[in-house]
Chain A
Amino acid sequence: MKLLTHNLLSSHVRGVGPRGFPLRLQATEVRISPVEFNPDFVARMIPKVEWAALLEAADTLHLVEVPKEPIQGYEHDERFLRKMHHVLLEVDVLEGTLQCPESGRLFPISRGIPNMLLSDEETET
């Protein structure tokens, strides 16, 4: 699971709504996988990023050189975009958990795949 995905994931446990974000990340195995740099894509994702959640996740994973916020003219700043590219797309959480901040429910991550299956009681109906 990449940090871009984590930054957009939100708990869909019944009754939780917007308080289901961000999922608290714990990781026991992380892999850095090189991904081809596409500045256009990174620049387009910047407005979607929730910075507090990103910084918290980056801190949990002990990542360094993570920008604290978008800088002026970021669309054309290659250095900034490359750093964001690395954080959002090249850090892969293989084993760990995601916790719903409202319900406390844990979603396990195994082989890089979060298990988001809910029980009948947890499903919004």
Chain B
Amino acid sequence: MASRGQRPEHSGPPELFYDKKEARKYVRNSRMIDVQTKMAGRALELLCLPEGQPCYLLDIGCGSGLSGDYLSDEGHYWVGIDISPAMLDAALDRDTEGDLLLGDMGQGIPFKPGSFDGCISISAVQWLCSANKKSDIPAKRLYCFFSALYSVLVHGARAVLQLYPENSEQLELITTQATKAGFTGGVVVDYPNSARAKKFYLCLFSGPSTFIPMAQNEANEEEEARESTFTVESLSGSSVAETPRRK
């Protein structure tokens, strides 16, 4: 994804980074497809949708439709928003089932209140932290996104946003704006001890708060991890360490 260690977010705006060449990787590179699909699966799992019910979901930064395809395979219907025409072209070529929109999440989400039963986002939200135009103020764009997201979700619905925060300050900037917009929830960190596999999922609830899902660790794929603990950072700022619960 990043060349010579540089984060893609530092190279310029997403609509330029995700050009035809980059879009082709999402269509051809099997490792990339595998990673994206796995993250989509995990995000959907964390969404905790009612069993056996087809839902209407929003996919933020849907790109070439990899995550959307996963949603379709699970029997859900979805709408995807992306800022990159090249990625959306790739999605059209792949004949995805969800409806696609060309849009900038930092400008809001053009839907009526209570439109969606849930929302996922894979590897997109951290792009809001970079100011690509002189007029961009990341905190404002983040707030605009989160307040729009809060509105378009059915009351009590969730959003699970997988993202790559550059550092803890960036993660805090993001969670602060989400809280301001009315969300509760927390960050689930999968594989916290692996630099390569570590993944952040911002789990947001638009209604009364419920449990934070258990994070995954190398030890507990088959059985419960015995000695490892994981950290759940609640949006109020305090860090909470919990021992894994029995599945």
Residues of A within 8 A of B (CB): 1-2, 4-5, 8-12, 20-21, 35, 38, 40-41, 44-45, 48, 50, 89, 111-118, 120, 123-125
Residue contact A5 to B110, C-beta cutoff 8 Å: no
Given contacts A44-B53, A124-B144, A125-B140, contact A114 B101 (CB under 8 A): yes
Residues of B within 8 A of A117 (CB): 83, 102-104, 107
Given contacts A5-B79, A117-B103, A125-B140, contact A12 B109 (CB under 8 A): yes
Pick the contact of B110: A2, A9, A41 (CB < 8 A).
A9
Given contacts A38-B75, A120-B135, A125-B140, contact A8 B101 (CB under 8 A): no
Interface size class of B (residues with CB under 8 A): 20 to 34
Residue contact B109 to A41, C-beta cutoff 8 Å: no
Residues of B within 8 A of A113 (CB): 88, 92, 100-102
- Of the candidates B100, B101, B110, the one having the most CB atoms from chain A within 10 angstroms of its own CB is B110
Given contacts A12-B148, A120-B135, contact A44 B54 (CB under 8 A): yes
Q: Which residue of B lies closest to A93 (CB)?
A: B99
Residue contact B88 to A45, C-beta cutoff 8 Å: no
Bound complex: CA of A9 vs CA of B81, how far in Å? 12
Q: Which residue of A lies closest to B111 (CB)?
A: A8
Pick the contact of A12: B97, B102, B110, B135 (CB < 8 A).
B110
Residue contact A12 to B99, C-beta cutoff 8 Å: no
State whether the Cβ of B192 lies closer than 8 Å to any Cβ in chain A: no
Residues of B within 8 A of A112 (CB): 92, 99-100
Residue contact B56 to A45, C-beta cutoff 8 Å: yes
State whether the Cβ of B115 lies closer than 8 Å to any Cβ in chain A: yes
State whether the Cβ of B112 lies closer than 8 Å to any Cβ in chain A: yes
- Of the candidates A2, A20, A115, A116, the one having the most CB atoms from chain B within 10 angstroms of its own CB is A116
Q: Which residue of B lies closest to A125 (CB)?
A: B140
Residues of A within 8 A of B92 (CB): 111-113
Residues of A within 8 A of B109 (CB): 12
